[in-house]
Structure 1
Amino acid sequence: MLDLSIHDQPNVDISYRHVGSTDVTRYEKMHVEVFRDSAKASIAVAHEIADLMRSKADKGESCVLGLATGSSPIRVYAELVRLHREEGLDFSHVITFNLDEYYELPRGSRNSYWYFMHEHLFNHVNVDPRNIHIPEGNIPLEKVYDHCMQYEAMIREAGGLDFQLLGIGRTGHVGFNEPGSHSRSLTRLITLDHLTRVDAAGDFQGISNVPTRAITMGIQTISQARRIVLLAWGHKKAEIIQKTIEEERTSEIPATYLQDHPNVTVLLDEESSADLRRFNTPWLVGPCEWTDTLERKAIIWLSRHVDKPILKLTERDYNSNGMSDLLALHGSAYDLNIRMFNKLQHTITGWPGGKPNVDDSQRPERRDPARKRVILFSPHPDDDVISMGGTFARLVEQGHDVHVAYQTSGNIAVSDADALRFAEFARDLNQNLGSGNARLDFIIQELNDSRNKSQPDSKEVRTIKGLIRRGEAIAGARFVGLQDANIHFLDMPFYETGKSIKDDLGPDDIRIVRELIEKVEPHQIFAAGDLADPHGTHKVCLDAIFRALEQLEEEQPAAIKDTWLWLYRGAWQEWPIHEIEMAVPLSPAQVEAKRNAIFFHQSQKDGAMFQGEDHREFWQRAEQRNRETARLYNQLGLTEYEAIEAFRRWEFRRTAEPVS
């Protein structure tokens, strides 16, 4: 059994958690453990699996594993591969059964789960191919039932599943058991929920290419495993995790059936656990240790809950909503209210680089030096203007030495149709200029055949797509006033796989980021703080910045002695109000200018490949998000603005945790 207590993890922030309360988890119907770092959680799971394998081998028994696909278990498999290569972990006696497979998808397809499992695990360990079992997706419909019943029989013949690894979809599916699945369901063919297909659309270059059906183990099949571990990472899973763990068992959320299992553990990171009551509203669960951070979160929640500005909150409001102990600590609602109002007021500034010649003791940024060196790191070639286009322009207008660094090429987010259009343009241009076209003809043929290909884009196709994104980024940066000399394309190697699944962060990625920081010696770094997906591009790019700063702090501290790190968020999510430490208001004219800067990214307009379930264009999302932040500030009783861009400061020098 895993020892996964959050309190045993050395880098876990427990400021939102109860101290001395015996009923902190009383609303939770499953055993839950939360890690700050999903990588550490994945390693812990891998070591439990390894221990089970060794124990079974010592007894001369086979180890029967139920395995999952998707982004959540990737690091688990990576650690198992490492254990095999470096510590001799033996897979020769392991029998595996995968949860599911897309129907009518050939095994050779790069989007098949057969391909996924071989790429991430089976090709790298000594498992006997005869012991690998994955549902066959590409069989005639009339043979599907017999195939599913044979799959059930093979699991029984192997002695049943010793261990089942699970992820969870946003519909609450485990395997592909979508809402409506029965608790006694067995392996079968099912129809995929629309939201499930939306989440897979990026891997298939559009939802129209995502299969509509799949073969999956049933709920009963999964539930018969002797041990189950479910993994969930990132803010997108927070809502369904809360329902799965705290709400009643229902077929509408198939994962809730796991509440009946006697040996299940749910592993979460901080963001996926955020909606659980003990983290979201701990004052409603039991006594709290009131830190400054928790007070800020609770008072903002109270203001919104009772629909009153902060300065109008009363003692009754506090007492009626589980916060009487907070009121007792501070003596009066008036003292609490004015203190919190002032804190929020001090986050607002029209001078994101600091305002010269003023008292900066109550401002989010320093006044000196008046002209700062700034690096704005943009994971993709459009995150700069989408996420902080107004602040970007204001930093330039206020005379700071601003550099923008596009960390990846963004090439996989360009459609084949756009790349084909540019390739044909280049060929036609060459014809008119008298240059050769043989290679372009080959590229055009590849792009025309791309709907049926099972391999990643060729290097040449990726180059064309990357140049499309590069041209758009330059145009957008120029629009906000940046000189070409301050525009940097880092083309970090981890990204250049031609697939949605990227390589791990490597030394060259860190070196590239570090060299730019050493060159500029910035007073400010702005970076994308999307920590939701441990395998997403934003997270890897942020980790590269963290690692580079850590190295410099140890080896060349003079290069970053005056550096502050500010984190922004992307087009899908904003910082919660209680976490915002710098709020930059935008006027109507600045909102319009930001929109025009986003418009330069034409390849990401009108149906971008990775826009998720939100079908609005990125400029629409960004405007709505910025307007909503301004509305929330106003609802709390602060000044009304057209829009606000929000930032959180990150103290990387000591603990790599938020300043607040």
Structure 2
Amino acid sequence: MSNPHLDRPDLSAVERTLMERGGQADRYAPREKIRTLVVEHFPMLGKVTALRFLEWAQRNPDWSVALPTGKTPEHFIKWTQRILRDWDRAEVRRILETHGLDPARKPDLSRLHFIQIDDFYPIHGWQQNSFFHYVNRFYLGGFGFDPKKALLIDPDKIGLDPGEDLDQVWPEGQVDLSLRTRAPRTALQRRQQRLLAEVDEFCYRYEERIRELGGVGFFLGGIGPDGHIGFNVRGSDHLSTTRLCETNYETQAAAASDLGGIEISSARLVITIGLGTITWCPETTALVIAAGEAKAAIVQRAIESEPSNQVPASVLHKLDNACFYVTKGAARLLTERRHHQLETPETWDDTTQRSLVIDAALNAGCSLAQTGHEQIERLRSGSLLLERLERPVVEACDGAASFLKESLNRALATPCGETFLHTAPHHDDIMLGYLPYLAQFVQDPANSHRFQYLTSGFNAVTNGFMVDRCNWASALLRNPEWRAGAQAYLAPDRREHREAEVQMFLDALGAEDATGAARSAVGARLLACVAEIYGEPDPEALEHRIDALRHYFLTTYPGKKDEPEVQKLKGMLREWEAEVLWGHLGFGLDTIHHARLGFYKGDIFTEEPEINRDVLPVLEEIRRVQPSVVTVAFDPEGSGPDTHYKVMQAVAAALRLYRDETGRNDIRIWGYRNVWYRFHPAEADLVVPVSLGQMAELHRLFLDSFASQREASFPSYEHQGPFSELARQIQVEQYRQIRTLLGESFLRRHPDPRVRAARGFLFVRVMELDEFFEKTRELKKSIE
């Protein structure tokens, strides 16, 4: 097919410049089936994608573009806006010239036709968490696309009669797709059947209009955990067109944060352009962006596997102008690319050698003691490893085994005389990351501990959860005895009462009185928080305020950004949960610091940390504690929630300042990972045995302490249930790795009963400050 909007891959100066600068080929045969560009980190991913888009727009001023929603395009949006805004400034002109763009030809995006890729259904277009709202805010408003030339999906405008509302036709947001084929039984079902037909007709016309534009000229998308692009989930036909359809669990879990919980996202359908829509024009430029190690497995499948409906993104293999833009972490499992990197001597170190030896053993399913030339040669880079080894294979395998045994021995040697500052982005991160290890020495008086929670975590609290707590608070207000002493109880200086609430709650758990005293303790804390936030310690005023809050939580659509007072209230209940957790282990409020860093505001894109607002509170705590060990959720590429990544940057910046002012270089960093991503065994400096009893205790403590997370409204795409269950699953998976590598007899005959009892393992990475700083970028470079 001939198309006037022609953009061949060999004409992309941006990709050519970046690949030449990084010493990369556009693909590494025979395994890579599509061009791939690897960049250093997440912000750089946004920058190069913005440059490639603007390069395409210079050459195709009148075609069509389809751009993604959600958190993935954060830096793409920021960089595109910055470049367009500052096009004529010397700094931006240098960037343009360096990457092969013509500074004299600023693209006029108003000439392009914007195509919305997808949206949930049913959802009101005016909701802040609808994709219709997103594209209007960030693309039509932020980029300057002409709304008259835009193809948009506004569910409020599809098939409804004048004055009719989506909520009237679809009560509770439930759409019954069986009405496409079965006879309706009620008047409401007859109306629903007609509206379904209207939605299907809209999808057909939408597809037709895209083709009239010559197809999608430029497509940019993220990739879901099942390989989906758009909402084309695993199993989607590669010839699929725009349609109303269901999603799968992985997609529902990924969308839960957008919609206010998986209870909502699992009930929603989606309208999405199809895989056939994206690839209809063979000259389409299609980019997929992915960041972080958590995406590595699906990125590998999408790039290396043959086209299959089980990997929807593999449909892009047919497009000459398609390319994956990924960070180093996301590219970690690309076989040929990794082999090429290993051919460069400077990329070779002890960790690399150790990981290859371990991979050879795990791939063969044998212990390191049984691993030899045959098992190593099965690896793509096995022959390279054998060439580089400066000692016999048996010694290399023994060395890897010794490393793991030393890591295990370090974990068995209980820390003594240490001063710990445990930091966490969210309130359950420490628990999920390393609590079974911490529990072994946290109560030893030879060590001291301070726990610093860096965000208030209000995004993880549902409105339904808050309604229950409001009801408990109302019941307490109706209690004459409590009401009589309320004013003294709610006085501004109430630290004693806060401690008493935690103890009352724990006493109730011990007495198995979860519906009586435990609810009273939670209700009392909620009333105290409301009194503090709204300045209303009077019981009568509190009663009215609780009624107003209950109404707010019942009537506000899930996923809406809350007003600041409500955010603070939700966050304070998350803070209460952390206090309950450490209360289980005998720690009082004097050991817990809630930093509530200001970058965490509940926006779609979390702000970058700032020195005064976000780094100094961490620095003050470091000064106060003077730690010998600081624990950090170690996420250099944003593999998990972006809050983890940005909190890590703030902690690193604070530690830099502290070292500069004190000269201390002896602080050790314990990098931990929880349910979002894993360490490779070769990276683990502490291999911690976890018994079945410890797993059970972790689960019990999680359910007892983190009630807001008990129902798993915001779960991982890997597990349908609370995070404590997923943590156990990961520990068991890591146990199987260690059992394979060291041999079952090693574990069963180990002299330490903790190892013999192990049915799980935790991995922790220990770093000196210089190594930690090397893995984290300075804040001022975070968007450069």
Q: Could you tell me how far 1:477 is from its partner in structure 2? A: 1.6
What SS does the aligned partner of 2:577 have? helix
Q: 1:225-236 residue pairs with structure 2 within 5 A?
A: 226-236=284-294
- For 1:31, the equivalent position in structure 2 comes to 35
Q: Could you tell me how far 1:577 is from its partner in structure 2? A: 0.9
- For 1:653, the equivalent position in structure 2 comes to 770
Say if 1:534 and 1:540, in contact at 8 Å, map to a contact too: no
* TM-score (normalised: structure 1): 0.85
- For 1:387, the equivalent position in structure 2 comes to 433
- For 1:489, the equivalent position in structure 2 comes to 594
- For 2:689, the equivalent position in structure 1 comes to 585
The reply on whether 1:571 has 2:668 as its aligned counterpart is: no
Q: Could you tell me how far 1:264 is from its partner in structure 2? A: 1.1
- For 2:219, the equivalent position in structure 1 comes to 164
What SS does the aligned partner of 2:119 have? strand
C-alpha distance 176-344 of structure 1, shift in aligned 2 (>3 A): same
Greater helix content: 2
What SS does the aligned partner of 1:448 have? helix
- For 2:251, the equivalent position in structure 1 comes to 196
Say if 1:350 and 1:585, in contact at 8 Å, map to a contact too: no
Q: How many Å separate the matches in 1 of 2:597 and 2:130?
A: 27
Q: How many Å separate the matches in 1 of 2:117 and 2:693?
A: 52
C-alpha distance 37-319 of structure 1, shift in aligned 2 (>3 A): closer
Q: How many Å separate the matches in 1 of 2:629 and 2:17?
A: 36
Q: How many Å separate the matches in 2 of 1:299 and 1:473?
A: 41
Q: Which amino acid aligns with 2:447?
A: H
Say if 2:70 and 2:604, in contact at 8 Å, map to a contact too: no
The reply on whether 1:334 has 2:390 as its aligned counterpart is: no
The reply on whether 1:471 has 2:576 as its aligned counterpart is: yes
Q: Could you tell me how far 1:186 is from its partner in structure 2? A: 3.2
Q: Could you tell me how far 1:97 is from its partner in structure 2? A: 1.2
Q: How many Å separate the matches in 2 of 1:353 and 1:493?
A: 38
- For 1:397, the equivalent position in structure 2 comes to 443
- For 2:477, the equivalent position in structure 1 comes to 430
Q: How many Å separate the matches in 2 of 1:122 and 1:623?
A: 45
Q: Is the deviation greater in 259-268 or in 287-296?
A: 287-296
- For 1:361, the equivalent position in structure 2 comes to none
- For 1:277, the equivalent position in structure 2 comes to 335
Say if 2:619 and 2:655, in contact at 8 Å, map to a contact too: yes
- CA offsets per residue over residues 80-137 of structure 1, 9 Å max, x none? 2223444477544343112122232221122211112234343334333323322233
Q: Could you tell me how far 1:277 is from its partner in structure 2? A: 1.6
Among candidates 733, 737, 752, match of residue 628 of structure 1: 733
Q: Which amino acid aligns with 1:425?
A: W
- For 2:407, the equivalent position in structure 1 comes to 347
Q: Is the deviation greater in 290-299 or in 648-657?
A: 648-657
Q: How many Å separate the matches in 2 of 1:131 and 1:27?
A: 40
Q: Which amino acid aligns with 1:143?
A: E
The reply on whether 1:456 has 2:503 as its aligned counterpart is: no
C-alpha distance 564-304 of structure 1, shift in aligned 2 (>3 A): same
Q: 1:434-449 residue pairs with structure 2 within 5 A?
A: 435-436=539-540, 437-449=543-555
Q: 1:7-18 residue pairs with structure 2 within 5 A?
A: none
- For 1:297, the equivalent position in structure 2 comes to 355
Say if 1:229 and 1:266, in contact at 8 Å, map to a contact too: yes
- For 1:367, the equivalent position in structure 2 comes to none
- For 1:100, the equivalent position in structure 2 comes to 118
What SS does the aligned partner of 2:572 have? helix
- CA offsets per residue over residues 31-86 of structure 1, 9 Å max, x none? 01122302101111112223344555xxxx43532212232222211222223444
C-alpha distance 454-598 of structure 1, shift in aligned 2 (>3 A): closer
- For 2:155, the equivalent position in structure 1 comes to 137
Q: Among the aligned pairs, what percent are the same residue?
A: 23
What SS does the aligned partner of 1:380 have? coil
Q: Could you tell me how far 1:478 is from its partner in structure 2? A: 2.8
C-alpha distance 474-9 of structure 1, shift in aligned 2 (>3 A): farther
Instruction: Indicate the RMSD between aligned Cα atoms, in angstroms.
Output: 3.3
Larger Rg: 2
C-alpha distance 114-23 of structure 1, shift in aligned 2 (>3 A): closer
Say if 2:47 and 2:75, in contact at 8 Å, map to a contact too: yes
Among candidates 609, 613, 623, match of residue 505 of structure 1: 609
Say if 2:215 and 2:278, in contact at 8 Å, map to a contact too: no
Q: Could you tell me how far 1:5 is from its partner in structure 2? A: 7.6
Task: List runs of 5+ in structure 2 lacking aligned partners.
Answer: 1-11, 89-105, 160-195, 485-538, 748-754, 777-784
What SS does the aligned partner of 2:632 have? strand
Q: 1:109-124 residue pairs with structure 2 within 5 A?
A: 109-124=127-142
Q: Which amino acid aligns with 2:123?
A: L
Q: Could you tell me how far 1:307 is from its partner in structure 2? A: 2.8
Q: Which amino acid aligns with 1:448?
A: L
- CA offsets per residue over residues 479-533 of structure 1, 9 Å max, x none? 3343432211011122232x66533434412232232223323221111124443
What SS does the aligned partner of 1:466 have? helix
Say if 1:24 and 1:285, in contact at 8 Å, map to a contact too: no
Q: How many Å separate the matches in 1 of 2:58 and 2:120?
A: 32
Q: Which amino acid aligns with 1:3?
A: E
Q: Could you tell me how far 1:206 is from its partner in structure 2? A: 2.8
Say if 1:78 and 1:120, in contact at 8 Å, map to a contact too: no
- For 2:15, the equivalent position in structure 1 comes to 3
Task: List runs of 5+ in structure 1 lacking aligned partners.
Answer: 356-369
- For 2:46, the equivalent position in structure 1 comes to 42
Q: Could you tell me how far 1:567 is from its partner in structure 2? A: 0.8
Q: Is the deviation greater in 403-412 or in 224-233?
A: 224-233
What SS does the aligned partner of 2:770 have? coil
Q: Which amino acid aligns with 1:28?
A: E
Among candidates 704, 707, 721, match of residue 600 of structure 1: 704
Q: How many Å separate the matches in 2 of 1:373 and 1:602?
A: 26
The reply on whether 1:536 has 2:642 as its aligned counterpart is: yes
Q: How many Å separate the matches in 1 of 2:276 and 2:691?
A: 57
What SS does the aligned partner of 1:656 have? helix
Q: How many Å separate the matches in 2 of 1:517 and 1:7?
A: 42
Aligned residues: 628
Q: Is the deviation greater in 127-136 or in 647-656?
A: 647-656
C-alpha distance 501-633 of structure 1, shift in aligned 2 (>3 A): same
- CA offsets per residue over residues 248-271 of structure 1, 9 Å max, x none? 122333322211111111011233
C-alpha distance 179-475 of structure 1, shift in aligned 2 (>3 A): closer
Say if 2:428 and 2:706, in contact at 8 Å, map to a contact too: no
Q: Which amino acid aligns with 1:83?
A: I
Q: Is the deviation greater in 125-134 or in 345-354?
A: 345-354
Q: How many Å separate the matches in 2 of 1:604 and 1:422?
A: 10
Q: How many Å separate the matches in 2 of 1:600 and 1:582?
A: 28
Q: How many Å separate the matches in 1 of 2:125 and 2:412?
A: 52
Q: Could you tell me how far 1:181 is from its partner in structure 2? A: 3.8
- For 1:360, the equivalent position in structure 2 comes to none
Q: How many Å separate the matches in 1 of 2:376 and 2:340?
A: 11
